[in-house]
Each structure stands twice: as C-alpha cells, then as structure tokens.
Structure 1
Amino acid sequence: MSQPSQQDEIVAEQANLKGQQAAGIEPVIEAKGLSQGQIVRKRFLGHSGAIVGLVVFAIIFLMAFTSVGYAGIPGWWKYTHEAVSPLANDGAPTASLWPLAWGEHPFGQDRIGRDLFAMTMRGAQQSITIMVVIGLIAGLIGVAVGALAGYFRGWTEAILMRLTDIIIIIPALLLAAVMAQFAGRRDEGSWFASFASTNGVLALGIFLGLISWVGLARLMRGEFLTLREREFVDAARISGASNARIIFKHILPNAVGVLIVNVTLTMSAAILTETALSYLGVGVKSPDTSLGLLISQNQEAFTTRPWLFWFPGLFIVLICLSINFIGDGLRDAFDPRQKKFNPKKARDTGSPLAPGQTPVAAQEGSTGDRAAGGGAASGDKGA
C-alpha cells in the first residue's frame, strides 16, 4: 500500500482545520516573514488582559519610584514617608472624585501626621524591589536545578531532588525569623549583620529567593523529563549538538510557558510573603516601611480610620493582579502550542447543519477512505 498523495494530505488537513473551527478552536496563524520576537510581540499585544495588567503595573511603578524619590534621587511629591506635618482635615483623605480634587494629603494622614501617600509609595517601592529580586533568584535557581535533574537523570537528579525536598520541609517563616534575629545583632560586627542593617529589603529578597525556587524546580524537572524524549531532541543529539545547546536551544524554549507562569506566581506570592513577614514583625523594619508593615501598623485603626488600611491593601491587590495578567499574556505569547478558543463561534457553529451540508466527521472519514482507496488502487496497479 502506497502513501497518500499530496492532494489527499491537503484535503485531510483542510478537513481537520474545519473541525477545529467548528469546535471554536482557532489556531494562531502567524504572518510569514516575521521573526520570533515579532511573533511574540504580536501575540502579547493581542492579549487584552496582559495589556491592562502592563498599563496598571507601569503606572504603579512610575508613581512609586518617581513620587518620593529612590536611591538618593528626589521625587516630585513634597512629603517623604518619614516627614511629619500638622493634621489636615482630621487626617482624612483630601482627594475626591466630585468635584475632582487632589488636595494636600490625597490618601490621608496617620495619627502623628505622616502622609499616607508618601508611605504607600515607599511601601510599593519596597514590595516591587523584593518581588523582582525573588523572581530573578528563584527563576534562575529553579530553572538550573530542574533542567539538570530532568535532563541528566541518575545521581544528578537524586542529589538535586533530595536537596529540594529538604528545603521544602523547612518553614519559610521560621527561617525568616532566624534571619531577622541574626540581622538585628549589629554589635557582633558580622558581614551579614552589617549588610542586612544597611540593605534590609535586598537582604530579605535574596533570602526569600533562595528558598522560593523549589516549586519551579519540580515543575521544570517534569517538563524536561517529558521533552527530552521527543523526536526533535533525538534529532539534535544525532546531529552532534552539545548538552548545553540541547537544553537552552531546544528544550527550554518549549518549557517557557510553565517557566513564565510559575515565576509570575512566585513574584505575586513574594509580595504576600513579605506582607506576612512584615505583619509578624520579621520583615521590613521601621523607620523604613512596606505595604505589609503599613497594614500591620494600622490594623487597629480599621474601624476608625479605614483609609490607613485600605490604600496599602489596594496597592498589594493591584500589583499581584497585574503581574498575574502579564504572566498569562507572556505564557500565551511564548508557548507555540497555544490555541485560541472562541466560545461564541463554537455556539454559532453548533447549530443544525444546512441541507446538503456534510458533517466534519463524515468529511474526515471520506477523506480517509479516498486516501486508503487511492493507496489500494495504486497498490493493485503496481501488482
């Protein structure tokens, strides 16, 4: 029996495409001549949720790092997170939607007269810094450990996975509390105490990043275990590609969807972890501040001065949601296996067939019959 002709393969592919369209699945068709970067950018810009998340995060980032200044660079807001001024409007927010007004203290003031807008922007700076540091460190370590364990297997996998299991069972809050105690011993003169006392946020981000990679490592190991058995990896080995080239050029691009989703979730969880640590008193310490520390300090004023609690909480929610939306858009942009599902089109095409219209399944069956028949005929002719 001979192979189906090229025309039969084209007919079968068209029938498969019609079946996907009837089910509401729209394959992502890219324009010819575009580079990989252009294709990724086109997909990302077509994701409405990712664009909204990117715009919201960009606004928060610019407000946080330009309003109260950063690293000695002054900002455009006249108050700092430590400045104390007389209470205006009994500390209530001076901003209003109608009539539209910003006022002297748009987010209000705390009991001693500190501007809540300045403190919230400073807290957003700290939370974003911790989030980025944790995402970078956890991403790099998790990808390295998972890739090595999943690709090489054997004793490499055994050692790395047992190390991962040990780190998983140690509570992060307990380790953070121990780190905070060591960082507080400034009289001992150790390099860690000196670094933590002057770079508390960076030290907290590095520490949390060193214990937040275990989930990503397990997921990347599973992806590499699956992808290393694929045909394109075997073809790369036969062609003489090195292990490093196979890992970074062939396997890792196909696992980028899992990588991006997990890293963005880790970054979102980092803000919540920092909030919990600051709430328990082992995170960012006064006179500096963070969003979690603001919530911890103002929890008793929730009923009398709720704005002291709501504004830091609102920024935590906005940052976490925007990062998750951005990660979702990046996953769809980088993953070559993604297909768009259109429920409206699926409902529309699910209506009864018009008179004389052939079902998709029947089309596929008839195509297969024609292919088989053509092969049998050619076989008889050859005989």
Structure 2
Amino acid sequence: MSQPTQQSELLAEQEALARPRTTGEGPVGPKGLSQGQIVRKRFLRHGGAVVGVSILAAILALAFTSVGWGPFAGWWKYGHTDITPLVHDGAPTLSLAPFRLGEHPFGQDRIGRDLFAMTMRGAQQSITVMLVIGLIAGAIGVVVGAVAGYFRGWADAVLMRLTDVVIIVPALLLAAVLSAVAGRRDEGTWFGAVAGQHGVLLLGVFLGFVLWVGLARLVRGEFLTLCEREFVDAARLSGASSMRIIVRHILPNAIGVVIVNVTLTMSSAILLETALSYLGVGVKAPDTSLGLLISQNQDAFSTRPWLFWWPGAFIVLICLSINVIGDGLRDAFDPRQRPFRASARSGR
C-alpha cells in the first residue's frame, strides 16, 4: 500500500511545481524562451563580443559611406586616386583636443593622395574579400563535411581524399599563378578582362575555394558524433528523408561549430589577403587594399610613419573584432559554457 501512496505524493508535488506562482498582480512563472532568444541573451552578456560588433559596424559604416561604393557616392571630398598639393608636408591634420578633422585627417602620401580615402577604399576591398571568402568557404565546408559525415562509406573516402589534395596545394603559389594570368590584359583573354574589372571578387572566390578544408573536417567530425544520437534514429524511424535529417535535425545542433569557424576563417582570410597584396599577388594598382598600402609605404616608415600606422591599425581592429565576435558566438551556442563567478566559489 505504500508504493501507490508514494506515487500519488510525487504526482501531487509535480503538479504543485508546475502550477504558476501567484502574487497580487497575477501569475508569475519562468517564461519560456526560444533557442534564438537564449543565444541572443548569451551573446549580449559577452561584453567583448558586443564591443567587437560595435567596432566592426563602425568600420563598415565609415568605409562604405565615406568614399562611396559602386554607384553610390560618398560624403568625403577626395577619392583614393585624387592628387592634391601637399598640406603641412603631408602630415595628418586630425586633432583630438579640440576635435578637428582638417583637410587630410590621415595625412597624404608623397605624391599628394589623401590617405583617409585610400585607407577607406582599402578597408572596402579587404572586407569584401573577407566576406566572399567566408560565404564560399563556409558553404563548401558545410556541404562537404555534412555529406561525408552522414553518408560515410565511399562518399566519406572520396571527399576526404579531395580535402587532402586541396590542403597540400599552397594557396600562395596558386594566387601567384592567378595574378600572372590576370595581369596579361594585353592579350585580350576573357579571364584578363574579368580580372581587370572584378579583381577583388575574383580573388575572394579563388581563396574561398581553397580555405574550406578546415571547416569541412570539423563539420564531418560533428556529424559523425551526432549521427549516433537517439533523435537521429527517431527521425529515420519516422520516415524522414536524408536531406531533412541533415538540414532540420543534425545541422542545427552543429551550427555553433559552423558559425565560430566561419568567423575564424574570415579573420584568417583578411590576413591572407593582406599578405598576398603585400607580396604583390593580391589587389593591384590603381586599386588598393590595406595590405597593398602597407607594402607601398614600408620604405616610408621612418620618415612618414602615418602612411604605415593607419592601414595597420584598421587591419588589427578588423581582425580583433572578428575574433572576439567568434568567441561570443562560441559561448552563446555552446550550452555547456557558464560564466565563472569568483564570489560564488569563494563563498563555498
């Protein structure tokens, strides 16, 4: 007789816990949050990630509105190719106390081009390459990793051997070949014509088809683990197709790994583009990028250091912002991440 009594007591206790608590103003209880709301709250609690988003948004707004982009005109009076007489021997006219931009806030180079306009144009090109690489590498890496990890067998073997081949091919060598072919515009080749008009997009597409291998391996590992979970077996028994299982059941559980690694790929991509432009196989003049500005002004570091400081500062800010955003996304998507409270531990 004691067992039914214990069961009834447990049921009564569960009903009491499920019943909302009431106050003078009405029922009070824990409000259910969706997965997106939980992720957003965790991300907003990450102070570094919020600062990173703010800095990156400010750089994007400044770069794409100041000197214009495509058919849209900018509010800055100089373009990145305009040559004007030197003002104060090209020194920056920016003043903080009192705040004043002056004629050339970032200074001028030796021939009179405005460094602010060139830096903004360089930031545009570097960010464009970074976004194109992130989209292409992310899409290819997710598809290859998902197919290899879910279907396994011959599909896994073929895709992973393809990944090994791409890994051993040096991106710098391929970029040098691409740059040499694109530079032969006098021969009238279709590739040279496309490269002359859309060189930055072409560079981003090329690097995107090279930098997906790391993400593919990580996604494959996640799929191999998640395919053994009970919810995948339940989806198979219910008659769900392989595409539905991959897209609706497995991929949402691996989205944290995907987003974090895409942000890290974008951060390394902008450094790679900077290195390629620095070595002369990336963005070519008369266009410019942050890496190309550093390469062109490295000899003036001791005499005109501002020509080196400003592009380098923007590279550092962009990369740091993306890295801390990736850290915030990792903490937001990982349910095992919990903030450390030193006061609670000391109390214990």
TM-score (norm 1): 0.82
Deviation larger for 315-324 or 338-347: 338-347
In the alignment, what sits opposite 2:297? 298
CA–CA separation in structure 2 for the residues paired with 1:345 and 1:339: 18
In the alignment, what sits opposite 2:92? 93
Contact 1:256–1:331 (CA under 8 A) maintained in structure 2:
no
- Identity percentage over the alignment? 71
CA–CA separation in structure 1 for the residues paired with 2:159 and 2:192: 30
Q: Shift of residue 42 of structure 1?
A: 2.3
Q: Deviations over 1:149-182 (max 9, x none)?
A: 0110000001100000000001000000001111
Q: Shift of residue 348 of structure 1?
A: 1.9
Q: Shift of residue 189 of structure 1?
A: 3.1
Q: Deviations over 1:195-231 (max 9, x none)?
A: 1111000000000000000000011111111111111
In the alignment, what sits opposite 2:23? none
Contact 1:130–1:205 (CA under 8 A) maintained in structure 2:
yes
CA–CA separation in structure 1 for the residues paired with 2:337 and 2:135: 29
Q: Shift of residue 96 of structure 1?
A: 1.7
Taking the TM superposition and a 5 Å limit, the aligned residue runs for 1:246-257 are: 246-257=245-256
Matched, 1:180 2:193: no
Q: Shift of residue 138 of structure 1?
A: 0.1
Q: Shift of residue 186 of structure 1?
A: 1.8
Q: Shift of residue 100 of structure 1?
A: 2.1
Which protein shows a greater Rg?
1
Taking the TM superposition and a 5 Å limit, the aligned residue runs for 1:56-95 are: 56-95=55-94
Q: Deviations over 1:312-343 (max 9, x none)?
A: 000001011111122222233333x2331324
Q: Deviations over 1:18-76 (max 9, x none)?
A: xxxxxxxxxxxx95333333333222222211111111011000000000011031100
Taking the TM superposition and a 5 Å limit, the aligned residue runs for 1:266-345 are: 266-335=265-334, 337-345=335-343
Contact 1:295–1:313 (CA under 8 A) maintained in structure 2:
yes
Q: Shift of residue 285 of structure 1?
A: 0.3
In the alignment, what sits opposite 2:346? 348
The residue type equivalent to 2:147 in the other structure is: L
Query: RCO greater where, 1 or 2, for CA within 8 Å and sep 6 or more?
Result: 1
In the alignment, what sits opposite 1:360? none
CA–CA separation in structure 1 for the residues paired with 2:85 and 2:30: 62
RMSD: 2.0
The residue type equivalent to 2:108 in the other structure is: Q
Q: Deviations over 1:125-169 (max 9, x none)?
A: 001100000000000000000000011000000110000000000
Contact 1:68–1:77 (CA under 8 A) maintained in structure 2:
yes
CA–CA separation in structure 2 for the residues paired with 1:338 and 1:63: 37
Contact 1:150–1:222 (CA under 8 A) maintained in structure 2:
yes
Deviation larger for 190-199 or 212-221: 190-199
CA–CA separation in structure 2 for the residues paired with 1:170 and 1:349: 55
Pairs aligned (count): 328
CA–CA separation in structure 2 for the residues paired with 1:279 and 1:31: 55
CA–CA separation in structure 1 for the residues paired with 2:347 and 2:244: 45
**Secondary structure of the equivalent of 1:168?**
helix
